[in-house]
Amino acid sequence: MGGGLQQDVQPQVYLGMNNLCFHRLHYMASTNAGLCQGNMTWCYEVRGPQYHWVLDLYERLNLPILPAVVEALSEVIKERAAELEKQKTSHSKTLRVKMKTARAEDQEARKKWVRQQAVQHTYGEEEDDDERGQPEEVTVISGKTCRCGSTSHKRTTHKSCPLNSKK
C-alpha cells in the first residue's frame, strides 16, 4: 500500500457464518424503520396529515411512488389519527389507570407467592442470616447429600450433622 493511490473499496457480502450477518442487517433496518414509525405522531403534527416516512424514503431512494401505496398510507394515517384521538378521552385514561394498578397488584401478589414457596437452591453453603424473612421450614434442593443421608447439608463437618466429630 504505497504510492498514494486510493482504490474504491466495494463492500462485499459473503454468505459465510463468520462474515456479514444478514440477521444483523435485518435488525438494523427494522430498528430504523421502527424509529421512523415511532416519530409518526410528531410528523403528523409538524408536517401535516399528508406526510408519511415511507413516501419520504421512496423519494430519497428515487423509487417510483405508486398511487396504491399513497392510498394505503393515507388510510393508515387516518386510522392512526382516529386511534390517538380515541385514546385521549377520559374513559380511555381511566381504563389505563385501572390496568396499571391491576398490573402493580399482580406483581405484588407474584412477589408474595415466590417468597412463600420457600425453596432454597444451595450447593452446600448454608446462610445463617435470613434477610428476606422467609419461613423457617425450607426445602433444600441440592445436587449431593451428606454421608449421614441428610439433604439439609452435604458435609460431615456441618454443625447439624450427627457424624460431625467436632460436636
- Chain position carrying cell 428476606: 132
Q: Are strands 139-141 and 119-121 parallel, antiparallel or unpaired?
A: parallel
Give the mean pLDDT per block of 10 residues along the chain (167 residues). Answer: 51 57 76 84 85 88 90 90 88 91 92 79 60 51 74 83 84
Q: 121 in helix, strand or coil?
A: strand
Indicate yes or no: pTM above 0.85.
no
pLDDT for the residue numbered 2: 46
Domain ranges within the chain, ordered by starting residue: 22-88
Residues 6+ apart with CB under 8 A from 59: 65
pLDDT for the residue numbered 67: 92
